Amino acid sequence: MASKLRVFTKRFFIFANIVVGMLFLLACLVPQLDPKHWWFISFLGLGFPFLLLLVILFMLGWLMILHPRPALISLLALALGYKSISHFMAFHQPKTFRYVKEPGQFRVLSWNVARFIELKRNHNKGSETRLKMLDLLRQQNADVLCLQEFHTSTNPEFYDNIQAVQDLGYPYYYFSFDADGDRHYYSSIIFSRFPIVDSGKVRYPRPSLPDVLLWADIRINSDTIRFFNTHLQSLQFDRHDYERIEKIKSVEDSLLANSRGILSKLRKAITYRSYQADIVHKVMGDSPYPFLLCADLNDVPNSYTYATVREGLQDAFLKKGNGIGRTFTSLSPTLRIDYIFADPRLEIHQFRRVTRRYSDHFMLLADIGKGK
């Protein structure tokens, strides 16, 4: 009887290992599948880190109980999915970020500032998150700032954040000035210490407002570099959605009832981002200058959005970072959705995530120079 139970248990876990391996490989295919046609498979991209962990655990489990042959199932899956793994994790040794810039290099900063948290003028010294964020910007000594979800206002009761950032030493800027109510403006923005010689924007098809693709040609010493900045379609989760996610995590109420609305928003956002990613890729391809893209893609490295936008470009985190590189502070510790991409004609010298939880996104820094 015990022998039959062992045989059954072994076969069950082999079968489970095969199923997990197949789901993992299917998740590895997500970047190649346009969500406009394969949205139901695109969901697997979000689960890639957890499928990867399960594949590794199966392999280690078989080796620990001295059954090396079933471990080959996981080993084969890992070998076939190496490219997706290499996009998910950076394998460099951690290094201290050098704040003194080297000659011939410039520093770019990308950050989703979440409207600086505080919109209305606030004199409560205990809650001035906005001032802490501005001070953090100042400390980085960046040459170009690419900020997403930036809010400013010409109403004196609210903050003029354009002037506040200019006072940090960034006299030049390009902003799309998309209205967010009377005398309020909300979009992405590019600030620079160097002159902006040309600029423009591309609007995505509705319902993507206020998401736009900005570009600014900036004269840095004797070179002109084009900086792109964008924020792609978010999930638009509200408080009720986050409450549903917590119920799903704690297995409260009906799983189906709590999942239906969330899956619908996921599908819409994934599909919208696929259109936006195609536009970003095409516009960047028309740049007459070496360029950089700072972006809150609202999507993970194992996605069609990332693969389309990044095609042919360097990912600063993968070049100089280490680990998983989480950039979004909520929902899951695996969410790297903010990026700095560089044209191959440029060289990435160093990279840093600034993990202060002032916004719901972490700040990104990269030092860039001319390629060899």
pLDDT tens by residue, 84-130: 999 999 998 888 899 999 999 999 999 999 999 888 887 666 568 89
Task: With a cut of 60, say whether residue 253 has pLDDT above it.
Answer: no
Q: Which amino acid is at 119?
A: L
Per-residue pLDDT, 9: 83
Do 83 and 109 sit in the same domain of this protein? no
Claim to verify: residue 212 and residue 305 sit in the same structural domain? yes
Whether 131 and 163 share a structural domain = yes
243 in the same domain as 125: yes
The mean pLDDT value of the chain amounts to: 88
> If you ran DSSP here, which 8-state letter would residue 352 be given?
E
**In 3D, which of 186, 185, 188 has the Cα closest to residue 174?**
188
Pairwise CA distance, residues 222 & 196, whole Å:
13
User: What is the pLDDT, as a whole number, of residue 179?
Assistant: 66
* Residue 171 and residue 162 in contact, taking contact as beta carbons nearer than 8 Å: no
Torsion of CA 346, 348, 354, 358, to 10 degrees: 10
Same structural domain, 42 and 128: no
What pLDDT score does 258 carry? Answer: 52
Closest CA to 345 of 296, 280, 301, 288: 288
User: Does 267 have pLDDT greater than 90?
Assistant: no
- Region for 238 from its dihedrals, namely left if φ exceeds 0, alpha if ψ lies in -120 to 50, beta otherwise: beta
Within-domain flag for 188 = yes
Q: Give the pLDDT band of residue 245 (cuts 50, 70, 90).
A: very low
Question: If you average pLDDT over residues 320-334, what whole number do you get?
Answer: 91
When divided into structural domains, the chain yields a total of 2
Specify whether the CB–CB gap between 107 and 369 falls below 8 A: no
Do 133 and 117 form a contact (C-beta atoms < 8 A)?
Answer: yes
Task: Please state, in angstroms and as integers, the Cα–Cα distance from residue 121 to each residue in 117, 134, 148, 188, 319, following that order.
Answer: 11, 15, 21, 21, 40
Q: Could you tell me the pLDDT band of residue 247, with boundaries at 50, 70 and 90?
A: very low
pLDDT, tens digit (0-9, with 9 covering 90-100), for 123-158: 666 568 899 999 999 999 999 999 999 999 999 989
What is the share, in percent, of the chain residues with pLDDT greater than 90? Answer: 67
- 357 within domain boundaries: yes
Reported confidence tier of residue 363, pLDDT bands at 50, 70, 90: very high
115 and 59 within one domain: no
261 part of a folded domain: yes
Residue 250, pLDDT score: 52
Q: Judge whether residue 246 has pLDDT over 90.
A: no
* C-alpha span between 149 and 279 (Å, rounded): 20
Place of tokens 């201290």: 96
The last residue of a domain, from among 63, 88, 113: 88
Tokens of 193: 């210490």
**Would residue 93 count as lying in a domain?**
no
Averaged over 41-47, what is the pLDDT?
87
- Domain co-membership, 21 together with 138: no
Which CATH number goes with the domain that contains 291? 3.60.10.10
Q: Which domain holds residue 73?
A: 2-88
- Mean pLDDT of the region 339-346: 97
* pLDDT at res. 1: 57
Name the domain boundary from 88, 119, 138.
88
* 315 occurs within a structural domain: yes
* 112 and 78 within one domain: no
User: 3-state SS of the chain: helix, strand, coil percent to 5?
Assistant: 40, 25, 30
DSSP state of 372: -
Q: What are phi and psi of 144, to 5 degrees?
A: -130, 135
Q: pTM value?
A: 0.90
Higher pLDDT, 66 or 338: 338
With bands split at pLDDT 50, 70 and 90, how would you rate the model's confidence at 15? very high
Please provide residue 60's backbone torsions phi and psi, each rounded to the nearest 5 degrees: -65, -35
| Bridge pairing between strands 196-203 and 184-192 | unpaired
Q: Specify whether 198 is located in the same domain as 61.
A: no
In this structure, what are the phi and psi dihedrals at residue 303, rounded to the nearest 5 degrees? -145, 160
- Is 226 in the same domain as 341? yes
Residue 97 located in a structural domain: no
Query: Are residues 239 and 292 part of one domain?
Result: yes
pLDDT over 90 (residue 333): no
